[in-house]
Structure 1
């Protein structure tokens, strides 16, 4: 029985004569399964062991592990303990985050239909999709997903391939046509043979990349890695020199190892990694309040740099739904409205068009019942229904105006109305009466036009505001769709959205040279009839044009482009594969949440800048301090555990409060210059103060190294807390709101009390290697602190003039006189 024949609406089990030949027996299916010819995706997913190994066995962690082992070997258990805590915290946080992402990917399955109908031993039965074997004969029915690639062997049906191609129109599949896994049957039914299964299936090959965890480095992470690499090199050189010097001076392996460990753990900003992770996580929570789920926390910070967002029409601009706008009736034909409503209700599950008509007109239907049907076909572009009301029997046709009006007598008024509506981006279907239900040979007879139903895509109400927000933020939208580009432009016109670029189609892009392709991508804003591989090429071209690109997708055809983008964003209603590869998933399918999330992301950048100021200042002053004391012939200025407790009170605990607070609006602007403008004067002032204390205590007063280390630690601790007050409390503060400064002073007071507590409690003092401190020692510390803060203020305020004076730039005007030589 063909889908094009008039049929009764009653369903039922297949008769033996309805089943085509060529099915497998149970024994044949079992034999093929034993040979591995089953519909199972065996591509390797990242295991938990892979994740743990990648996060534990990093270059920096290996170095620290060796040093910790060395400290344990020489009996320095307390120093080993404190170094180990910081290292373990970083490993645990990063590992948990990646395990979560990997387990999400592991649940990725391209095949969402759990059961299919196969013919074995001449009988139809439902089995799990992964139990299909190569050569199985499968019966595809409305709503079923194609689970393996193959060719149609009998009957015909309408198939929706939008998840693969982006085309929203269904495609008629007849005997001999190829079916691709990942598509869906929307009308009719057919039999096809499973030829490519498992890893060979199209949907698995298309989404193979989505099974691998994507690491996207943001510009901030790239900068930080560059800084970290420089610090590691400088620290490695100095550490090697210290090891050689200490052993040449015969200070012993224990002391040289302790000094090297203190150097690495103090100079390299390990805690900044943890602080950035916390800041990213807090940013993810803030973005989630805007209506998104963040799966990759670095994607939040990346939104700060996004200047182009690529969107699909379906599911982003439109809600993938149709809505009846009005019905244009031929003169005197409005009385057929109940018949149109009855037709729509009887076929509402056949298509989105019928569903929209049923939703709008269903309450107006008469009591007519369907007694015959010709399903919709893309080849005919119409469907027909016979309706019976008592003794009255009528036949009606509903379909595309281009096709149905050609079969009608008259109807010019409807044709003109349709042409005007099409210019506005509306869709139309013509309702006409036939003398009898059409037959397979196409003998429709002359139709009588009754009316034109005009439908429009349901546009998301927030889209207009989202486009306005993008314009405010300096983000350019690019619409990439599988539909006609003029239709997309008309829909944007309905929203009164005007994009700066032009309109271009996929076929026009296909033959362009790389330079012309890149220029076309830059100059156009609407891309229609775009194939999946072209989406990824457009994203790549935008990135090569120095744009930072976010891609919003919902189907399997978007996976390649999502992976190519800097920020991958998926709709919650999209396929599991797009949700798994995306860093951000939009709840309620509202991409407005992404635009609002870009605003929230500025908090992440601001807090990361504040963290970087403190941690880089500490790294630089520690490096300067260690170099200076070594050149002056002084002992190492602090023990690893002393550096750890100072870092905990001045960096670790404040970092938590910085990460969860709202930064000043300008905190993240001009990131590198902003951070260095604070870190360089602060580190120089702190280093000079600590060197002075160390030199004065051990060099001039002749006190032992333990007392010098105590005073140096107190000096750096208090200076560090003042830096916290500056960054967390005073930066961007106003007299109109003193809450933040006052709370920061309270926090600094509590942390200072903790530092003093470690010095005055006997067992803590002994544990950390401190000595007793009296009034004389405090006077040394406080004097150094005061001078350091004064020096920081002077240098940060007048540093251009100071540099000019040091380099003799103020004499340049005198030197430039006379004849050039």
Structure 2
């Protein structure tokens, strides 16, 4: 069927001038001002801002230094997010699939936003329809509208039928005339969604938000009690207000949300530098939680391309001439037909009467050449029987890809009366680093499932050569049960699955979910779309179909499967580190609330000034948590984040506050020391136990983690040693007796903290994964 010549350049220009162009919808990424506002105008920043003003008025600039955290947090968060936004916007453009159009009678590629009304758009397998239109020509055209309607069965489209943006071509080829563009298109929002940089909630952020809600509820009555008690403590109004501020400020985990967001954003930025486009921020979390990885054979274990090794005649006729004719009849050849085309001779001048494009569901393609016969080319175990099938399976057992060519009376009758002509053997090359890549996942405890539409025995041979564990556990997917529970059992038993249909791929993900697995699915073809969308983490190759890239959460733009370990490792680094810093921040909040409650109930002067809180917070939490949040980490995320953090933070917080209050009480009981010296004793005790909390959180020690703890301890000693710093932070060695008692109490608390941590880990054995060594 001839294709119309399309619009002329003049007609295109007229439509652009009239605004009838597929202008890109507003970016779903936040603007720089929105990013700044999101980082600046937060509840905790507002609370700290009010306390900063109060401290500035009653205590002077020195006591209000803690307010600088607003500036630092907002600046760091904004800069990191802007960097990630710029990187992702750039990658989204690189990964954008162009549209093929015919203008002035010639084919051209344009960006989707350059399409105009009445444009003639050419479409083929795997391509996503960018705008609404009406079919102009169709050759076996089948459109998958599952992303719009949820129905997985492809819809046959004939000239005059409507096609909607957001759907994609499952089989065949053709063209359509654009009817609606821009915001008028049915699913323009879906296309914008494909490159959105999302800050949507995740399971991890949900846990942190629960912490924040509880903390907010606790802060309000505790602060009220503290305000009341300090007004009755016998201090001056100025000292009472400054003491109240000092008690409230450390309760606020102002850096926890910031560092969580930064860890996510920096993870996205690092992956962007490796040509990995993360299309949704929570995908970073999915990377860390994955425990089952479903891999396609072609393009993942093997190189994308194939080479025709040999054509083995098993019947009468000239199979190479038939293959050449089939290649010529295919307007949109897939990689298999491209490999055949590179090796067969010039096509004979046979007129094409009918074409059946390749379909993943039926596993074959074909053409009817009238007096020269009708032929089908596809999977041997679908189109062959008897001895011919046995020979094909024997060849496939060595890992080669084998296809069969058969002659049929007519395409309309399908395989009825099929007569074998030839076996076509294609050679597949394993990817260069496939053994190292698969070895990484084995070490990380990720179970591999090889899922392919090819012959199961052949796929199993390739998987074994690639080093897939248990590659001998092979099954033909046509033998699998439909029942979800039974299917889940089969998935636990077998490793390699052949002759899998697109609908089965999606069913695999559903079945694995019923067993509590977090599933990642790789794919690049049209037959992978449903499974990619259903999986917790869909990973598509940059060279894959537009539809696959559109629904995947991560796109490997460099088409390199060996990048996947870096992707998974980045996710695990992010979540493992967030758990570490959560331990620190929640411990601080708990000990601060404990101190405030006891002080509030006893109406004694608060043991710290705001400047003390600023110093301890910076050295034991603020500075080290920034390094810990961005450091290498190989832990695998598991459910139970909230309970694990609380198991550490509650006893640690109680020990820190208990040791500090005991040291402060004994110091106040000593009539020879002043209130300033008593506060110095409390500050030294608090710092020592808080530094121990940092040390326990930083384990297992590496050279830099141990060095970080030592540097923070050295910085505090430096403050005590330098007269100017000591006076600025209102510290001193205090009363010698009090200081000695405080250090002794701190030592006992540190030993108890070690015992509590040890018992906690033994009790929760297996709930927190061991950390991988990091440098």
Q: Same fold (TM over 0.5)?
A: yes
2:225 aligned residue (226, 229, 241) = 241
Sort the Cα spacing of 1:614 and 1:291 in 2 relative to 1 into closer, same or farther, 3 A: same
* 1:634-673 alignment, distance < 5 Å: 634-659=604-629
* SS of alignment partner, residue 756 of structure 1: helix
Paired with 2:543 and 2:193, the residues of 1 have a C-alpha distance of 21
| CA displacement 1:38-77 (0-9 Å, x = unmatched) | 4334366343144333333333233223333444455743
- C-alpha distance after superposition, 1:492-522 (max 9, x if no partner): 464243569983699x97xxxxxx6577567
Q: Distance in 2 between matches of 1:133 and 1:285?
A: 34
Conserved? CA contact 2:166–2:190, under 8 Å = no
Assess if the C-alpha contact under 8 Å between 2:455 and 2:476 holds in 1. no
- Residue equivalent to 2:253: 269
Does 2:102 match 1:138?
A: no
Cα 1:306–1:345 change in 2 (3 A) is closer
Q: Secondary structure at the match of 1:321?
A: coil
1:40 corresponds in structure 2 to 23
- Structure 2 matches for 1:537-548, cutoff 5 A? 543=513, 546-548=516-518
In structure 2, the partner of 1:530 is 502
Query: Who is 1:503 aligned against?
Result: 477
Tell me how far apart the structure 2 counterparts of residues 618 and 188 of structure 1 sit (CA, whole Å). 62
- Equivalence for 1:780: 738
Q: Which of residues 33, 38, 53 in structure 1 aligns to 2:37?
A: 53
Alignment of 1:657-696 (within 5 A): 657-659=627-629, 679-680=649-650, 682-696=652-666
**Structure 1 residue 237: deviation in Å?**
1.5
CA 1:76–1:662: 2 relative to 1, 3 Å: same
Structure 1 residues 218, 480: CA separation in 2 closer, same or farther (over 3 Å shift)?
farther
Tell me the distance in 1 between the aligned counterparts of 2:340 and 2:376: 14
Change in CA separation of 1:645 and 1:590 when aligned onto 2, cut-off 3 Å: same
Give the match for residue 755 of structure 1: 719
Deviations 1:659-699, CA, capped at 9 Å, x for gaps: 46566989999866765665455444433332234334445
Deviations 1:148-184 (A, max 9, x none): 3333345x547696898999x9999763455555789
TM-superposed deviation, 1:781: 1.9
Q: Quick check: 1:428 aligned with 2:403?
A: yes
Q: Pick from 494, 499, 520 the counterpart of residue 550 of structure 1.
A: 520
The residue that corresponds to 2:376 in the other structure is: 400
1:115–1:76 Cα change, 3 Å: farther
Say yes or no: does 1:378 pair with 2:350: no
Q: Deviations over 1:716-766 (max 9, x none)?
A: 2233334444554xx456xxxx95797467525532333324xx433x444
Maintained 8 Å contact 2:406/2:420: yes
**CA offsets, 1:565-621, max 9 Å, x none?**
544534333467866876644364345543565466555555445444444433333
Quick one: distance in 2 between partners of 1:429 and 1:93? 60
State the match for 1:621 in structure 2.
Answer: 591
CA–CA separation in structure 2 for the residues paired with 1:798 and 1:377: 73
Q: 2:84 and 2:289 mapped to 1: Cα distance?
A: 23
Which of these residues, 77, 85, 101, is aligned with residue 116 of structure 1?
A: 101
Alignment partners' CA distance in 2, 1:563 and 1:345: 32
Equivalence for 1:705? 675
Structure 1 residues 345-364: Cα deviation after superposition (integer angstroms, max 9, x where no partner): 999996234431354x48xx
Residues 450 and 310 (structure 1), Cα distance of their counterparts in 2 relative to 1, 3 Å cut = closer
Aligned equivalents of 1:261, 1:500: Cα separation in 2: 67
The change in CA–CA distance for 1:186 and 1:744 in structure 2 (over 3 A counts) is: closer
Note if 1:721 corresponds to 2:691. Answer: yes
Sort the Cα spacing of 1:696 and 1:115 in 2 relative to 1 into closer, same or farther, 3 A: same
Residue aligning to 1:454: 425
Cα distance between partner residues in 1 of 2:280 and 2:12: 46
Choose the corresponding residue for 1:194, options 154, 166, 178.
178
Deviates more, 1:746-755 or 1:97-106: 97-106
Asked if the contact 1:146–1:183 (Cα under 8 Å) also holds between the matched residues in 2, the reply is yes
Question: 1:689 aligns to what SS in structure 2?
Answer: helix
For residue 377 of structure 1, give the secondary structure of its aligned residue in structure 2: strand
Change (3 A) 1:550 1:488: same
Please state if 1:569 is matched with 2:551: no
Task: Quote how far apart the aligned CAs of 1:188 are.
Answer: 11
Q: Within 2, Cα distance between the matches of 1:558 and 1:96?
A: 37
State whether residues 572 and 579 of structure 1, in contact with CA within 8 Å, keep that contact through their aligned partners in structure 2: yes
Distance 1:695 1:574 in 2: 69
Q: Distance in 2 between matches of 1:500 and 1:522?
A: 14
Matches of 2:572 and 2:478, distance apart in 1: 34
Give the superposition deviation at 1:248.
6.7
Q: Deviations over 1:240-291 (max 9, x none)?
A: 2223444577967755553443233312333444555566677778878999
Displacement of 1:646: 1.6
The aligned residue for residue 435 of structure 1 is none
Contact 1:664/1:732 (8 A) holds in 2: no
* 1:702 Cα offset (Å): 6.4
The 5 A counterparts of 1:253-268 are 255=239, 257-268=241-252
- Inter-CA distance 118–24: structure 2 relative to 1 (3 Å threshold): closer
Where does 1:41-440 land on structure 2 (aligned, <5 Å)? 41-42=24-25, 45-48=28-31, 49-72=33-56, 74=58, 76-80=60-64, 82-100=65-83, 108=92, 112-113=97-98, 116-118=101-103, 130=113, 132-134=115-117, 136=118, 138=120, 140=122, 147-153=130-136, 156-157=138-139, 175-176=159-160, 192-199=176-183, 201=185, 204=188, 206-207=190-191, 209-210=193-194, 213-215=197-199, 217=201, 219-246=203-230, 255=239, 257-276=241-260, 299-300=283-284, 302-311=286-295, 315-316=299-300, 319-329=303-313, 351=333, 352-359=335-342, 361=343, 377-378=355-356, 400-401=376-377, 417=391, 426-428=401-403, 430=405
Separation in structure 2 between the aligned mates of residue 667 and residue 530 of structure 1, nearest angstrom: 30
**2:481 aligned with 1:491:** no
CA distance in 1 between partners of 2:222 and 2:578 (Å): 28
Distance 1:629 1:667, change over 3 A: farther
Q: Structure 1 residue 643: deviation in Å?
A: 0.7
Note if contact 1:149-1:195 (Cα within 8 Å) is conserved in structure 2: yes
Query: Aligned-pair RMSD on alpha carbons?
Result: 5.9
Question: Structure 1 residues 349 and 261, CA, compared in 2 at 3 Å: closer, same or farther?
Answer: farther
Helix, strand or coil at the partner of 1:634: coil
- 1:631 Cα deviation from its structure 2 partner: 3.0
2:228·2:600 contact (CA, 8 Å) conserved in 1? Answer: no
SS of structure 2 residue aligned to 1:453: strand
CA deviation profile, 1:265-320 (whole Å, cap 9, x unmatched):
31233344455556667777887899956676764454443233455566445655
> How far apart are the structure 2 equivalents of 1:185 and 1:745?
58
- Answer yes or no: is the 8 Å Cα contact 1:323–1:456 preserved in 2: yes
Q: What displacement does 1:469 show?
A: 5.7
Number of aligned positions between the proteins: 727
CA 178–276 in structure 1, closer or farther in 2 if over 3 Å, else same:
closer
Larger-gyration structure (1/2):
1
Unaligned runs of 5+ in 2: 359-364, 408-417, 465-470, 761-775
Provide the TM-score with structure 1 as the length reference. Answer: 0.68
